[in-house]
Chain A
Amino acid sequence: MVIEEYLQPGERIVASCADVYATNQRLIHYTPRSKSLTFREFGYPHVNTIKLVPKARLSTMVLGFSVTLLSLLAGVGSPFQVGVAVLGVAAMSMGLLMGDRYLRITGDEKDDIVEWRLRDASRKNGKELISAVQHAMLPPVERVTNAATPEPAAAHSGAIPRSVLLVPADRPEQVRTALSSAADVVCLDMTTAVHSTNRETARLMAWGEVTAAASSSKGVWARIGVDSFREDLDACVWPGLSGVVIAADSVERVRLIEETLSSLEEERKLLQQVGIVVALEAAAAVWAVRETLAASPRVNATVVGAHDLLETPETTALRPSYPDPVYMQGRITAGATEAGVPMIGLLGTDIAPGHLVEVLGQVVGKRLAQAAKASRDDGFIGGMTIHPEAVAQCNTAFPGFHPPLTALQPPPPLPAMWQPVVPSYFEVKPEQAAVTSTAPAVPSMVPLNNGATPQESNTWRPLAAPRLPGIPHSLSAKWRPVVPSDFKRATTPSRPQ
């Protein structure tokens, strides 16, 4: 079957290069084989038009013009000179009429145009065509230079999703479905959900999927491999990506990811920093949980197995775990809280997609809801799942980020007899009181948002403790518990009125 048979009505191929075809609607990666074929598509968000533009070949024209001019300057006499002049004119005509073809890609902005010469397209790798389109989708230079520095990670990635839907990055149809689901974040899985022979395809497609997701209302993350993190990051760090999920198990690994992310962000002019989501998959990671999560300010969440869907009171004794799950949960919760990183729970990732009913029975909705609720009770604030059916339960059970509280006003003062008794060591100092009284909204939200409204940045971190500065291997003095020297309440009322 030829590629034309796959085109939609009104769709036509504008250019092709190796096995990548640019149509006026999408890029298609099409490889027919004797028994099967590979057909992948890349959408064009932020690309308005893509068309073929013929252009005169300037070098040939200049050459022809020079030859003609020289023969004319020598004076018209011999037939040889006439012949030379005719040749020059012919070369000029060839340059004009048989010029090169260019693929012109126009982005969102007026000046956002890229042209790519197709003269030797057939010899080029399909990746080049993709890079040309990728280049067209980078933000215009003006926008980048106006932004003084990239926004800090906290301002962007503080958004805590209630539900993260994992989809294989080499299945664009599933990505498209996920983008129309109710999940807060779509996470492109470039590792375990992709067969090893398809990883390169997944990398090729990541750009199209990231940009498509960025133009939707979803956040987009990518789950990358520990051994292939450089290739995976190179493939997926494009404007729109807000987080990468990686099974990092040490401070060094997190720092390496951070460095690679920084250089890619700079190279590709990303406006926002990409956050790091650490998946705790190995015992070594759990052992060093606090240090690993505090290794970089970019670490904005950790993913860990949440309440086991298969676990019921009857089966708990049959599925023992060593170390004890209570110990493990305590260690992870304490480490994550100390590092100021919220926990997102994996939900039902042992069960194959489409087999929930087979494994859990007809009460699958109830079981999902119970598991999400139990995970919420355990301190998780979001759920990551491979089951679209579980998204609704996650959205219900987890707090995620709350709607903005713009109109919140301090309540009127209570009568003196109803004033709450505040221990002296909790009392607000006068200078803090002054700052608080001028803040119009919820004070704790202001510094996290960098002055932006919650709708713009979704930065509220409801359960996370403040992040430790730097890489705290030992607790700094200000993190020591405050023990009042005197438990007696101050006799003089110093509470601000």
Chain B
Amino acid sequence: MTDVRRSMLFTPANVRRFVEGVWKHSPDIVVLDLEDSVAPEEKQTAREMVQDAIPLAARGGAEVAVRINADTVVEDCNAAIWPGLCAVVLPKAETQEQIAALDALLTRLETERSMPAGSVEIMPMIETAIGVQNAYAIAAASGRIRSFGVLGEADLTADLGASFDALQTHDVLAYPRGEVGLASRALGLTVNGRAWTPGKATIADYGDIEALERSIRASWLAGCRSTFCIHPRQVAAANEHLRPSTSEVAEAVEALRVYTEADRARLPYGVLYGMVVDARIAQESRDVIEYAAACDAKEASKASRRAEIEAEERDGPV
């Protein structure tokens, strides 16, 4: 089944209240954070809490990932790699050696903790100039990397000496965005991340809901399949707009019909609204229809889990 991971909501692993309530926001992935949203003195507490947090975060039908710290990879992984975890988000990825070392560590932990081999993905975040320079090597460094393209915009602008606020008016990260996006596509990986649009639509500044929705819609049209969120408002926008719209599905169905008819008549392509509908467009249409169905299935699964939890909380544990 196609993975649906539109919204990936960061939740501090050390705040139990947040972890317990994260299912209410209905993200596709909950990312238990051990990095930026945890104060340095709280890191050890967070590590101790993360194993118990995994099943709690997964209650609403979401997958669970963990964001580790780039400078305490071994400690964080030792604390966080437990059954139920789908991915490790590695911030400030800079070299392929870093990825290879993490891959080896995950392999060892999976074996020790009776987890299926290769089940934990690596999601590198590019947040430094060196990371941009090595983007392709990083993305190609491990078979555990199945999606790529996320820029840590705040850290990257700081590393480049650029203004984060300037992102509201023009894309100061156009080159890094292009580099990681192309590397991801060249390697056939799922593209994560966001296309640039003007306005308050960055991960840290989401005050303008219209700008946010416009940005996420643009990201979908540009081929991105998931985005990190730090606020429930972003989760709702991502779940709604980072998927094929009703009109897109209808158009894909029509395109597929036109192509099937043309193919039956032994024509190389059909014509829809004057546009060529060839084998490539037909395949894209099939993908859109399939992905829309997968999104619907994901929503249905999460809704039933939510209903179960609500019933449980209302009636008390069975």
Residues of A within 8 A of B (CB): 168, 192-195, 197-198, 282-284, 286-288, 317-324, 326-328, 331, 349-352, 355-356, 358-359
With A168-B268, A327-B178 in contact, do A320 and B183 touch (Cβ < 8 Å)?
no
Q: Contact at B186–A283, with CB atoms within 8 Å?
A: yes
Q: List residues of B (260-286) whose CB comes within 8 Å of A's CBs.
A: 263, 266-269, 271, 273-276, 278-280
Q: Contact at B266–A198, with CB atoms within 8 Å?
A: yes
Q: Contact at B279–A358, with CB atoms within 8 Å?
A: no
Q: Of residues A319, A326, A327, A349, which shows the largest number of chain B Cβ atoms within 10 Å of its Cβ? A: A327
With A284-B186, A326-B174, A327-B177 in contact, do A321 and B275 touch (Cβ < 8 Å)?
no
Q: List residues of B (176-192) whose CB comes within 8 Å of A's CBs.
A: 177-179, 181-183, 185-187, 191
Q: Contact at B266–A328, with CB atoms within 8 Å?
A: no
On chain A, the residues within 8 Å of B174 by CB distance are: 324, 326-327
Q: Contact at A349–B276, with CB atoms within 8 Å?
A: yes
Q: Is B148 located at the chain interface by the 8 A CB criterion?
A: no
- Contacts A/B (CB < 8 Å), 15 sampled: A192-B278, A286-B182, A318-B221, A320-B195, A320-B197, A321-B222, A322-B195, A323-B181, A324-B177, A324-B178, A324-B181, A331-B182, A350-B275, A352-B275, A355-B275
Q: Contact at B186–A286, with CB atoms within 8 Å?
A: yes
C-alpha spacing A235/B278, complex, angstroms: 24
Chain B 180-211, CB within 8 Å of chain A: the 1/0 string?
01110111000101011100000000000000
Q: Contact at A283–B274, with CB atoms within 8 Å?
A: no
On chain B, the residues within 8 Å of A317 by CB distance are: 197, 218
Q: Contact at A352–B179, with CB atoms within 8 Å?
A: no
C-alpha spacing A356/B274, complex, angstroms: 7
Q: Is B167 located at the chain interface by the 8 A CB criterion?
A: no
Residue of A nearest to B181 (CB): A323
Q: Contact at B186–A351, with CB atoms within 8 Å?
A: no
Decide if the interface of chain B is mainly helix, strand, loop or mixed. Answer: mixed
C-alpha spacing A367/B290, complex, angstroms: 36
Nearest-Cβ distance from residue B215 to partner chain A, whole angstroms: 10
With A324-B196, A352-B276 in contact, do A331 and B178 touch (Cβ < 8 Å)?
yes
On chain B, the residues within 8 Å of A321 by CB distance are: 195, 222
Nearest-Cβ distance from residue B139 to partner chain A, whole angstroms: 11
On chain A, the residues within 8 Å of B266 by CB distance are: 195, 197-198
On chain B, the residues within 8 Å of A324 by CB distance are: 171, 174, 177-178, 181, 196
Nearest-Cβ distance from residue A29 to partner chain B, whole angstroms: 16
Residue of A nearest to B278 (CB): A192
On chain A, the residues within 8 Å of B268 by CB distance are: 168, 192-195, 198
On chain B, the residues within 8 Å of A286 by CB distance are: 182, 186
Q: List residues of B (153-189) whose CB comes within 8 Å of A's CBs.
A: 171, 174-175, 177-179, 181-183, 185-187
Nearest-Cβ distance from residue B118 to partner chain A, whole angstroms: 24
Nearest-Cβ distance from residue A72 to partner chain B, whole angstroms: 67
Q: Is B81 located at the chain interface by the 8 A CB criterion?
A: no
Residue of B nearest to A282 (CB): B186
C-alpha spacing A328/B175, complex, angstroms: 9
Q: Is B219 located at the chain interface by the 8 A CB criterion?
A: yes
Q: Of residues B178, B179, B219, B267, which shows the largest number of chain A Cβ atoms within 10 Å of its Cβ? A: B178
Q: Is B224 located at the chain interface by the 8 A CB criterion?
A: yes
Q: Contact at B222–A355, with CB atoms within 8 Å?
A: no
Q: Is B84 located at the chain interface by the 8 A CB criterion?
A: no
With A319-B221, A321-B222 in contact, do A351 and B175 touch (Cβ < 8 Å)?
no
C-alpha spacing A334/B268, complex, angstroms: 34
C-alpha spacing A198/B267, complex, angstroms: 9
Nearest-Cβ distance from residue B181 to partner chain A, whole angstroms: 4
With A192-B268, A195-B263, A198-B266 in contact, do A287 and B182 touch (Cβ < 8 Å)?
yes
Q: Is B223 located at the chain interface by the 8 A CB criterion?
A: yes
Interface residues contributed by chain B, number (CB under 8 Å): 37
Q: Contact at B275–A322, with CB atoms within 8 Å?
A: no
Q: List residues of B (294-315) whose CB comes within 8 Å of A's CBs.
A: none
Q: Contact at A359–B177, with CB atoms within 8 Å?
A: no
Residue of A nearest to B279 (CB): A192
With A283-B185, A287-B182 in contact, do A322 and B177 touch (Cβ < 8 Å)?
yes
On chain A, the residues within 8 Å of B23 by CB distance are: none
C-alpha spacing A193/B270, complex, angstroms: 11
Q: Is B136 located at the chain interface by the 8 A CB criterion?
A: yes
On chain B, the residues within 8 Å of A328 by CB distance are: 178, 182
Q: Contact at A323–B178, with CB atoms within 8 Å?
A: yes
Nearest-Cβ distance from residue B242 to partner chain A, whole angstroms: 13
On chain B, the residues within 8 Å of A331 by CB distance are: 178, 182
C-alpha spacing A193/B276, complex, angstroms: 10
On chain B, the residues within 8 Å of A350 by CB distance are: 275-276
Q: Which of A193, A287, A319 contacts B186 (CB 8 A)?
A: A287
Q: A195-B266, A321-B195, A326-B174 are in contact. List 7 more A-B contacts (CB 8 A).
A: A198-B268, A320-B195, A324-B181, A327-B177, A349-B276, A352-B276, A355-B275
Nearest-Cβ distance from residue A473 to partner chain B, whole angstroms: 15
On chain B, the residues within 8 Å of A283 by CB distance are: 182, 185-186
Name the 8 nearest CB pairs between A and B, nearest first: A327-B178, A283-B185, A322-B222, A355-B274, A323-B181, A323-B178, A287-B186, A358-B274
On chain B, the residues within 8 Å of A288 by CB distance are: 186
On chain B, the residues within 8 Å of A319 by CB distance are: 221
On chain B, the residues within 8 Å of A322 by CB distance are: 177, 181, 191, 193, 195, 219, 222-224
Q: Contact at B269–A352, with CB atoms within 8 Å?
A: yes
On chain B, the residues within 8 Å of A320 by CB distance are: 195, 197, 218-219, 221-222
Nearest-Cβ distance from residue B264 to partner chain A, whole angstroms: 10
Chain B 248-264, CB within 8 Å of chain A: the 1/0 string?
00000000000000010
Residue of B nearest to A199 (CB): B268
C-alpha spacing A326/B174, complex, angstroms: 8
C-alpha spacing A322/B221, complex, angstroms: 9
On chain A, the residues within 8 Å of B269 by CB distance are: 192-193, 352
Q: Contact at B278–A351, with CB atoms within 8 Å?
A: no
C-alpha spacing A286/B223, complex, angstroms: 17
With A197-B266, A322-B219, A324-B174 in contact, do A351 and B274 touch (Cβ < 8 Å)?
yes
Q: Contact at B276–A351, with CB atoms within 8 Å?
A: yes
Nearest-Cβ distance from residue A173 to partner chain B, whole angstroms: 16
C-alpha spacing A349/B179, complex, angstroms: 27
On chain A, the residues within 8 Å of B223 by CB distance are: 322
Q: Of residues B174, B191, B193, which shows the largest number of chain A Cβ atoms within 10 Å of its Cβ? A: B174
C-alpha spacing A287/B188, complex, angstroms: 12
Q: Of residues B174, B175, B276, B280, which shows the largest number of chain A Cβ atoms within 10 Å of its Cβ? A: B276
